[in-house]
Each structure stands twice: as C-alpha cells, then as structure tokens.
Amino acid sequence: MSLKLYAHPFSSYSQKVLIALYENGTPFEFCPLSPDHPDVLARFHALWPLKRFPILVDDGRLVVEASIIIEHLGLHHPGPVRLLPEDAQAALEVRMLDRFFDNYVSTPQQKIVSDKLRAPAARDEQGVTEARAMLDTAYEWLDGYMAVRTWAVAESFSLADCAAAPFLFYADWTHAIGERFAHLRAYRRRLLARPSVMRVVNEARPYRELFPLGAPDRD
C-alpha cells in the first residue's frame, strides 16, 4: 500500500488527518505509535527526529504536519470530498481558519494538558493561566463567527473542520466551552455527528484513560 500513516488514535492531530482520510474513503496503512509496536516506533523516530505525529509516507515520500498531509492527500489522492476549495480566495479562508484552530485552540489546549504531565515543581502556572485566557478569547470569537455558519468556511466541510473537530472536542474537556457560547457548542455537536468524526471518536474511546485531566463521562 502506498500510504502509511504513523499515528495514534487518541491524538488530536492524528484524528485531524484520519477525518480527512475517512471523508474520502482513502485506503491507507495505519502504523500505530505505541510501545506495543517498538518496530513502528523505531521506524517513526528514524523518519522524523522531531517526533511529532502524525506523519505520512507516500510511496517513500515523507509528509509532515497535519494540514500539509491533508493538502497532500487532496493533491495526490483526491476523493469525492474536496477539503480545500478550488477557488483560491475560499481556499485562503479555509487555511486561515485551519491556522486559527491549530494556534488558538489546539496550542493552548495542549499547553494545559502537557503542564499536567510535568512534575509539580516544574509546572508553569502563569503559562496555564495564559492558555486558559487564550481559549476564552478563542471561544468568544468563534461563537460570533459560527453564529451564521454551518461549517467553518463556505458552508462545506473542509480542512478547517478536520482541525476543528478534534481540537474543540478536547478543548471542551480541558477548559469547558460555557453555555453562553451556544453557537460554538452547536458547531461542536454538528462536528461530532459527522460520520468521519464519529468514527475517530469511537476508535479513540478505548484510550480515554490516557487523558491526563480525567476524561468526562460524555461524548
């Protein structure tokens, strides 16, 4: 098989790419990054010393960064669902929202979770406070933005929604999206009802005990 995805089912960035693959029914080999598969881990470390995942290997060519992997799939393995619109301006808006979800939802969410994994003496209280403030601001902005939209851009599911789904899923677990953000909460529910997203959520279900802040009993 030409496409090999090195990933973990519980990882948000892995889910971002899995959603894109499932949207288009793209065949690929899942290479699980887990201590149960030391051979896969060794291959991954040799391929990508930065050790951030997922990574894709397409017929020997390494592709890194979830957004770029999704763009690569659209270019070289297109399917019925176009995740980057053909129109250049619409594509720019998709990339803009994709950057928003990576930088202003996922990054602060990961900061809070990774801080919890540190030894108490090494924790960064101020950094966590700033991350929570960033999420509050991002939720506020997104709530207004989503008030008139179904999906993140141009009323069709795109790369930006592939990012939004796992990041809002975990962000809400990490720093609850308050009831006053009704449009954002409705968008999160719409994302979770999408079959590709439902599938990644279900595949990740067995790993919920790995969530460092304690997974809530919902979703």
Ligand X SMILES: N[C@@H](CCC(=O)N[C@@H](CS)C(=O)NCC(=O)O)C(=O)O
**Residue 12 interacting with ligand X (CB under 6 A):** yes
**Residue 66 interacting with ligand X (CB under 6 A):** yes
Residue 106 near residue 167, CB atoms below 8 Å = yes
Least distance between ligand X and beta carbon 169 (Å): 12
Least distance between ligand X and beta carbon 98 (Å): 10
Least distance between ligand X and beta carbon 49 (Å): 12
Instruction: Considering only residues 194 through 213, tell me which ones interact with ligand X, judged by CB under 6 A.
Output: none
One character per residue 22-51, x = contact with ligand X (rule: CB under 6 A): -----------------------------x
Residue 85 near residue 173, CB atoms below 8 Å = no
Least distance between ligand X and beta carbon 16 (Å): 7
**Residue 13 interacting with ligand X (CB under 6 A):** yes
Residues 6+ apart with CB under 8 A from 32: 7, 8, 9, 40
CA proximity to 53, closest of 10, 2, 82: 10
**Which residue's entry shows tokens 């899995």?**
18
Q: Give the chain's radius of gyration (CA, Å).
A: 17
Give residues in contact with ligand X (CB under 6 A): 11-13, 51-53, 65-66
